[in-house]
Amino acid sequence: MTEIKQLNWQRDNFENIEEAWQGDLWERKRLGIQLTNYVDRLQCGAVLALDARWGEGKTWFVRHWAKHLSETGHNIIYLDAFENDYLEDPFLVISSEITACLEKDENVDQSYIDNFKRHAVAAYQALLPTLPKVLISLGLNLVSGGILGTAIQGMHEATKDITGNLTDSMGEKIKESIEEKIESHEAEKQSLKSFKKVLMELAEKQAESQNNEKKPLIFIIDELDRCRPDFAIRLIERIKHFFDIPKIVFVLVMDKSQFSKVVCHNYGYDETLGEEYLDKFVDFTVRLNSLSPDLIDNLKINIFNIFEHLGIDLNHQNLEGCIELIDFYVGEKELSKRAISKLASQFALLYSDSFDSYKNQLLIMFLLNPTFLLKGNTSLELLKTLLDQMDNYIQSNKDDFEKYHSENYRADTHTTVLMRKANFFQEELGILIFIQLVEYYEQSVNSQKKFSAISVRNLRPTNNTDFHSGWKNYIFGGI
């Protein structure tokens, strides 16, 4: 009886991280420690942006960094902006999170927290626009006027009478509200100034409570580029105007290029001005870089782990060469960690133990080049694309390859990785596919003499199977 391999879909459990940086195959810990040292020196307070594409592991990084900060004695707040964007104004969200965090700190006197709460309420009342207050009053009048209690058959007439009377009443209330707003303007300004002053005192007290190390409060706001655009923009504006004070460091987690488009759309700016607008609110941007060449072995471990969770052993003989193929495409297509996980899931769905290594490699190629399955291209066109990718890779790294073949060549990490990928085309891709690629290249661009020293026609197998048609039928035909 054949043993059925279990598929185990990965789920991140960020709420219960036992050890900071556990499973850190992308070496993010180093950046986390550097950032910690940096923010500890920011006694003046600051707003930082952590910038990376979707799927690059921003949430994984800040969640583990938050755990690290907690373990090193920092007061830390993590806020998912996307989960809170149903609220109208983020002012209350930020104030509430600060209050909740510092109430857990036994070294901060409760009287300072209570004083902050009172001033936060007063400041929020000052921020409320005039119109909603009028509408609330109008709503109460409508209810008390009897509209909801009127019988259905008489509702139209009753409504007409009541709304007619309320028109004048509403006009008077708007006028009164505007006059009240003008008269109270100075008091509201003072409320906002008092709020910042009290917040500064509270931030100073929490810093003094950190064993005389004066560590700032770290406030991480994640998923900023996923939440409602008007909420996201108002959030960063509120931070700059009311919370940008000493001893508090905000870290805004986003895909900056995407978020800048939201800004442009919201304000009608030219696309080139989006990031300039964001820079008004951000003191320093930290780029969460993609995988560097010297982490190639860690990448392989990561790929192995992802596939292993899905019940697929990449060390199996019929998967020979697949890890190198994925490795190449991760660099060529700049795949994110999330994209690799998606590829693994798709592969697990279509994979079979009965496939040989060539078929599995072809399956990965089709999953990474899905347009070929939709356009009805021939195998020849698919192979040409793969060859173009090879040629682009070699041409873009031409100087490194020339250095590699020079007499004075000395190995370094970058060039070693380049050559490993180049050798992969010939040694790991599978001889059948490689022969087809080179043969097509000889026939199509022979005049350029790029491979004039190579001849593979005598090595070509007699079995000329059209793999593309077979795999297209398989993938669209189901399991």
**Residues forming beta bridges with residue 217, ordered by sequence position:** 248
Spatial contact of 111 and 207, defined as CB atoms under 8 Å apart: no
pLDDT on residue 115: 92
Pairwise CA distance, residues 35 & 30, whole Å: 9
Report all structural domains of the chain as residue ranges with CATH numbers, in order of start. Answer: 28-130+177-287 (3.40.50), 295-477 (no CATH)
The percent of residues in the chain predicted with pLDDT above 90, rounded, is: 17
pLDDT on residue 137: 46
Spatial contact of 344 and 307, defined as CB atoms under 8 Å apart: yes
pLDDT on residue 97: 93
pLDDT on residue 309: 73
Rounded to an integer, the average pLDDT of 186-195 is 83
pLDDT on residue 249: 94
pLDDT digits (tens, 9 = 90+) for 279-309: 888 998 998 876 555 555 666 677 777 777 7
Residue 146 has pLDDT above 70, yes or no: no
What is the residue-averaged pLDDT of the chain? 71
Give the confidence band of 68 by pLDDT, cuts at 50, 70, 90.
Answer: very high
pLDDT on residue 131: 46
pLDDT digits (tens, 9 = 90+) for 350-368: 777 777 776 777 777 777 7
Q: pTM score, two decimals?
A: 0.64
Number of residues assigned to the chain: 479
pLDDT on residue 134: 45
3-state secondary structure at position 275:
helix
Calculate the CA 203 to chain-centre distance: 29
Residue 315 has pLDDT above 80, yes or no: no
Tokens of 113: 């927290």
Rounded to an integer, the average pLDDT of 403-407 is 54
Rounded to an integer, the average pLDDT of 53-70 is 90
Residue 99 has pLDDT above 80, yes or no: yes
pLDDT on residue 95: 92
pLDDT digits (tens, 9 = 90+) for 101-132: 989 888 888 999 999 999 998 888 888 765 44
